[in-house]
Amino acid sequence: MPSDAPAQDVVDALPDGVVVADVEGRVTVVSRVAARMLGHDDDPAALVGRPLADVLALRDQDDHAWVAHNCPFEGLRTRTAVPEQSWLLPDGTEVLVVARLHREVPLGPVTSVAVTIRNGRGRARLDRERSDLVATVAHELRSPLTGVKGFVQALLNRWDKLNDEQKKLMLTTVSADSDRLSRLIAELLDVARIDTGRLQLYPRPSDAAVLVRRVVDSVSAGTAREIVVVAPADDVLPPVLVDPDKFTQVVTNLVENAVRHGEGVVRVELAPEPHADGPDGVRLTVSDEGEGIPPELRRRAVTKFWTAGAGGGSGLGLYIVNGLVRAHGSTLVIGDADGGGARISSAWPGVPAELAF
């Protein structure tokens, strides 16, 4: 039984393996990918006309055959598909298999079955990523939770024996650990929104210098490192059209990252960013005097859970920064500072004339 040439061309162009059988359960079309997976890459045409059960040589962990296990031509007349399942090829490779059951007449007999076969490596990679996520989150949550539980338990057990200074110190530590937990949860929510495209922005005309100085004042209060803001006069630096909360989050992450992982003075620079076909914006640059980020690691630096050095952290900061910068239509650029160290910059959009202050 010859295969249909146009149909063959279509299935051969697909990335997944495809096997189609007619009402009699005999194969009518086999894509080259499917034939190769099933061990017949030498002559795919030889599979046409053979029983589906013979061609679809798939077994599960209990040595059940796909056709015998799923009975695609039997069962309820309302059934339209066989859901995705994990099966093994003859060579032991795991694949993901799903089938569509076609009926010419609603609630009539199955007239054809279309089966797709996809390599399971992608699923395995996703499973590993999920496992890494769980392990990383568990590790990051465990440390502050241990501190909170320990100090609260000490306060409950020894309240009458502790003086006011000891109680204040313990409660201050509990508050700091609680803030750390809240921030980690907020970061995870931001990652989920970025990954799923559900990140919402509320841009409005903003003064970048004011927002940056607020962040620097806040971070400086908790570190001995010198943080310098370099910005032109107010009448030179144009306003930006940004979501102020997200812009502040970007600046905070970059400055704290420079303090945690860099050395020397941290410089936060603001400069006008000219645009030929739109309003002038602002370029934000944060640099330090540490070892910097090697060129071969810069692409990895904006991936989830990437950390370097002994500074710690969740490894989500630069991933979130990159996502927020891209959401504003810009690109994060990682380079070398003039005196050594990392230099991370991004351009932020200017304000159209009709929206100006």
- CA–CA distance, 317 with 256 (Å, rounded to integer): 9
Among candidate residues 157, 177, 196, the one where a domain is terminated? 196
Same-domain status, 68 and 166: no
93 shares its domain with 19? yes
Same domain? For 210 and 347 the reply is yes
Same domain for 171 and 113: no
Within this chain, do residues 182 and 209 fall inside the same structural domain, yes or no? no
pLDDT value at residue 144: 83
In whole angstroms, what is the distance from residue 125 CA to residue 26 CA? 35
Query: How far apart (Å, rounded) are the C-alpha atoms in residues 337 and 343?
Result: 5
Per-residue pLDDT band for 299 (boundaries 50, 70, 90) equals: confident
Calculate the alpha carbon distances from 159 to 103, 170, 228, 296 in Å. Answer: 74, 11, 44, 54
User: Amino acid identity, residue 28?
Assistant: T
User: What pLDDT digit, counting tens, does each position of 251-273 carry?
Assistant: 999 999 899 888 899 999 999 99
Is there a single domain that holds both residue 210 and residue 335? yes
Is the torsion defined by CA of 146, 148, 151, 152 positive or negative? negative
- Same domain flag for 34 and 100: yes
Tokens for 8? Answer: 């063959």
Sequence-separated (6 or more) residues with CB below 8 Å from residue 119 = 37, 93, 95, 96
107 with 58, same domain?
A: yes
Asked whether the predicted pLDDT for residue 357 surpasses 60, the reply is: no
Mean pLDDT across the chain: 87
CATH code, domain with 30? 3.30.450.20
User: Final residue of a domain: which of 144, 175, 196?
Assistant: 196
Cβ neighbors of 100 (< 8 A, separation 6 or more) are: 80, 81, 113, 114
H or E, element range at 8: helix 5-12
Which of 293 and 132 is assigned the larger pLDDT? 293
* Whether pTM exceeds 0.75: no
* Number of domains observed in the structure of the chain: 3
Question: Would you say residue 101 has pLDDT above 50?
Answer: yes
Domain that holds residue 40: 5-119
pLDDT at position 25, please? Answer: 94
Q: What is the DSSP string of 81-106?
A: EEEEEEEE-TTS-EEEEEEEEE-SST
Give yes or no: residues 178 and 288 share one domain.
Answer: no
In this prediction, residue 1 carries a pLDDT of 46
